Amino acid sequence: MRPQANPATDTGAAQSAPAPTKLVCKAVRNDIGMLEPLRFMTVTIDFPKKYVKMVHEGDGKVFEYTDGPGNKNFVKITDDSVAYGQGRETWRIDRFTGTMTSSAFTIQFECQPRPTGRKF
C-alpha cells in the first residue's frame, strides 16, 4: 500500500522544474523529395537547460543541441523564437506562429504541442 501524497509537505523535483516542451512538426509541402525523412519531426525543448532534441520520425535520426562553452552547437531562446543549430545550419521556431524554418533548405514546418501518448 502506497502512502498518500501530502502536498503541504511533499516537495518533489518535478514540481520545481518545468517539464520540457514537446512539439510535433510537419512539413508544409508534400513534395519534399530526397528530404522525405524530414516530413515529420519531434522537437523537445528544455528551456531552463537551453537544450533541444530533434528526432526525424522518418529515419529515426536524433540530433541534440546544447548551449554552453566547448560545444560546437548552440541554442538561443528569446521571447519571439528558439534558434538552434551547428555551424551554418540553423533551425528557428517562431514562438508565436509555431513555424519552423531551416537555413539549409526552404521548406517550412508547422509545429504544435504534442499530446501525450500520441504517435504518428
Number of domains in the chain: 1
Q: How many CA atoms lie within 13 A of 120 on its CB side?
A: 13
Q: What percent of the chain has pLDDT over 70?
A: 76
Q: Is residue 5 part of a domain?
A: no
Detail the DSSP E strand segments found in 47-115: 51-56, 62-66, 73-77, 81-86, 89-94, 99-102, 109-113
pLDDT-derived band at 104 (thresholds 50, 70, 90) equals: confident
pLDDT given at position 93: 95
In a domain, 62, yes or no: yes
Residue 3 domain-assigned (yes or no): no
Q: Domain limits at 29?
A: 18-113
Q: How far is CA 60 from the centre of its chain?
A: 15
Number of H helices, E strands in the chain: 1, 9
Residue 4 lies in a domain: no
- 75 falls within a domain: yes
Q: Is 11 inside any structural domain? A: no
Task: Work out the number of other CB atoms within 10 angstroms of the CB of residue 109.
Answer: 23
| Alpha helices, H only, 1-120 | 13-16
Q: Using CA atoms, how far apart are residues 27 and 20, in angstroms rounded to an integer?
A: 22
Could you tell me if residue 96 is inside a domain? yes
Please state the pTM of the whole predicted model: 0.75
| Eight-state DSSP code of residue 34 | G
What pLDDT score was predicted for residue 51?
94
**15-32 pLDDT tens trace:** 566 789 999 998 887 776
